[in-house]
Amino acid sequence: MSAAGWFIVLLALVGANVPFFNQRLFALVPLGAAKKSAWIRIFEMLVLYFVIGMIGFALEARAGNRFDQGWQFYAITFSMFVVFAFPGFTFQYLVKRR
């Protein structure tokens, strides 16, 4: 696997966890004193999935060998993105805080 491939995997791992480790929208926009709802976190994950996918697409096109992908590719990569989000989900919803 090339350096660009590992970069995308690392970027996906970080991007999948961003919605869970802070109370800001996309880690930039403060939402006020209220805690972020699960629906906002899911929306953030979807947007970040597509943004990271576009970055990967650009890196692949820049390398010169862009491949057409079917729905199976996107189903698998989205499933991997959800699995990558498990540490953040665990930290946000399953770890008991005192």
Tens of pLDDT along 13-55? 999 999 998 888 888 888 777 788 889 999 999 999 999 999 9
Are residues 52 and 7 in contact, defined by beta-carbon separation less than 8 angstroms? no
Residue 45 domain boundaries: 3-94
Q: What is the pLDDT of residue 9?
A: 93
Domain total in the chain: 1
Predicted TM-score (pTM) of this structure = 0.87
| Model confidence pLDDT, tens digit, residues 63-81 | 887 778 899 999 999 999 9
* Helix ranges restricted to H, the chain: 3-17, 38-63, 71-84, 86-89
- Residue 42's pLDDT is 94
